[in-house]
Amino acid sequence: MSVTLYGIPNCDTVKKARKWLEAQNIEFQFHDFRKDGLTEQQLTLWCDALGWEKVLNKRSTSWRALDDDQKSDLNQSKAIALMVEAPTLVRRPVIDHDGQYHNGFKDAEYAAFFDL
């Protein structure tokens, strides 16, 4: 089983997800996308699997910092370009479990995602 958790280390939701994975003895790699970055290809995979509206976090401080031109006429390619520029626009965490994706964190959703 291959599991990668994408996020930023100081995010409370990412911390909860990490603790949950550790409590379930699920080994995972952590990818700090502020430090390690995100590629357009990676974001495209997530957006194709989850929908760009679910990947783009419109409640973040990064979103509020954007100007109106950046926020208008959104589509998947524009959203991906914004997230490549500012990875903190991604709703965290994103988890990759053998090519299956999930973002955000809730105990019950993770339990279902990992068939526990």
CB atoms within 10 A of CB 5: 21
**Residue 32's beta-bridge partner residues?**
7
Assess whether 11 carries a catalytic annotation: yes
Q: Which of 3, 11, 49, 66 is catalytic?
A: 11
Would you say 20 and 102 are in contact if contact means Cβ atoms under 8 Å apart? no
- Cα–Cα distance between 31 and 9 in angstroms, integer? 9
Tallying the residues shown for the chain, one arrives at 116
Q: Which residues are catalytic?
A: 11
